[in-house]
Amino acid sequence: MVSDHGHSTAVAALTAQYAAMREGAPVRLAKKTSNLFRFRAEQSGGLDVGRFDRVLAVDPVGRTAQVQGMTTYENLVAATLRHGLMPLVVPQLKTITIGGAVAGLGIESTSFRNGLPHESVRELEILTGDGEVVIAKPDDDLFRAFPNSYGTLGYALRLEIELEPVRQYVRLRHVPFGSFAECAAVIEEVCSDGSADFVDGTVFSRNEMYLTLGHYADIAPYTSDYTGNQIYYKSIQKRRTDHLTIHDYLWRWDTDWFWCSRAFGAQNPVVRRLWPKRYLRSDVYRKLVAKHRQLRPRVDVEPVIQDVEIPVGALADFLDFFDREIGIAPVWLCPVRLRDTTGWPLYPMDKDTLYVNVGFWSEVPVRPGEKMGDRNRLIEREVARLGGHKSLYSDSYYEEDEFWRHYNGSHYRSVKDRYDQTNRLPDLYAKCVRGR
C-alpha cells in the first residue's frame, strides 16, 4: 500500500512537470505497457506516471478500494483477492490499467450485471488539460464525460471503486449452439433470469458456437490450469463443464491473448514446451505485434481489430454479416447492460437495452479493388445501421461529422472547453481517427 502522503507527493511532481512542458508540445504518458492498437512511432519523454501504479487502500468492510490510475488489473486483483473481493468488472488482460479502462472502455463476463468498469467508480481525481487537479464525482460533467475520452480531457490519477465478494472457485458450463439466432435468444434469456454469475461466448463458425456460463462454487472436484501447455479457448470445444479458481478464471484469456498467440507459434506443442511460461502473456504478444509492424509493414493485409456493442436483438444479423463479409474466427461475445442508467454522454447506450460486445482481432487479405481500411469501414457502417457502438482503442476510419454524431460531439466540446481551454491535449477525433 502507498501512503496518502506518497500519493500527494507524486501528484505535486506530476503537475510541476506538466506546467514545465513547453507550450504547444504534444502531451502523452510515458507508460511501460499499452493495450491500444493505434500504433505510433516511439517517442522520448512524456509525462512520468510511473509513481501512479499502486493500490492505495482496500476497505473490506465498505467493499471499496483507492487505486492509482496506472495500476494494472493484475496488481489490483492480487490486492483485492486477499480480502475475498474483486472489482465489479475485471477486463480480460492483465496489463490493462484501471485508468485506461475508465478513460477508454473495458468489459468482461460480469458486464451483463455490472456494466462497464467506469460504472463502479465513485470518485475520480483527474489532471485536466488545463493542468489542474480536479476531484470529480458522479454528478459532475467531467466525471460523466471521462469514459471514452481516451486521455483527451485529462488523466486519472486516483480512483475510488466498488468491490464485490467472490468465492474460491468458478464452475463453467460450455453450452453449444448451431445458429446465431438461437445463441442470441439464450443470451437474452440467461442475462434476464440472473441464473449465472458470469456469461460470455465464443463463435468458432456459423454452425458452432458456445455460451460459457460461470457459477461461483465453494468446492470443486478438480481445477484446470490454462497457464501452461493447456489452452483455454480450445477446451471450450472439448468440455461441457470445467472448474477454475477465481484467480485463474479472471485471467483465463490472458495466457493466449484469447486465441491470438497462435500467430506467434505459441500454440504449437513443441514451441509451447520451449516458450518460458512467464512470457505466455498478452503484453508480450502485443509487443511482438508492435515490433513486427515496425520492421515489416504490410500492405496486402488489413488489420481488423475491433470490439463493438450490438443490441442483442440485432446480434444474429451482425454475426451473419460478419461471417459473410469478413470471415474471421473465432469471435468473442460478451453481453453488457448499463448499470448506471444516468448514462455516459461520449458512449451513449440505451439504458433499457441488453447489448452484446463482439470482439474480433485478426487480419484479412486486401481484395482486388480495395484499399486499406475498406473492410473496417464496412463494419463501422453495419454497426451504425444496427444501432450499435464501436470502441476506439484500435484503428477507426470515420469521417469527422459522422464520428461526432456517434460520440456526442456537442457535449464533448462543451466539457473540453471547460477543462482544456488552451487545447493542450488532442481532441478525441484527432487522437482516435487521425492518430495524433
Q: What is the pLDDT of residue 39?
A: 56
Question: Which tens digits make up the pLDDT trace of 56-77?
Answer: 999 999 999 999 999 999 999 9
What pLDDT does residue 1 have?
A: 47
Question: Quick one: pLDDT band at residue 37, thresholds 50, 70, 90?
Answer: low
Three-class SS of residue 132? coil
Residues 6+ apart with CB under 8 A from 401: none
Per-domain residue ranges for the chain? 4-166+419-432
Burial class (CB in 10 A: 0-12, 13-18, 19+), 220: middle
As a whole number, mean pLDDT of residues 90-103 equals 96
Q: Give the rounded percent of residues in the chain with a pLDDT score beyond 90.
A: 86
143 CB burial (10 A radius; 0-12, 13-18, 19+): buried
Instruction: Give tens-digit pLDDT for 166-196.
Output: 999 999 999 999 999 999 999 999 999 988 9
What number is the average pLDDT over the span 81-109? 97
The model's pLDDT over 374-388, given as tens digits with 9 standing for 90+, comes to 999 999 999 999 999
Question: Average pLDDT of the chain?
Answer: 93
Rounded Cα distance, 237 and 208, in Å = 9
Fold entry, domain 4-166+419-432: 3.30.465
Strand positions, DSSP E, 46-144 = 47-48, 55-59, 64-68, 85-87, 121-128, 133-136
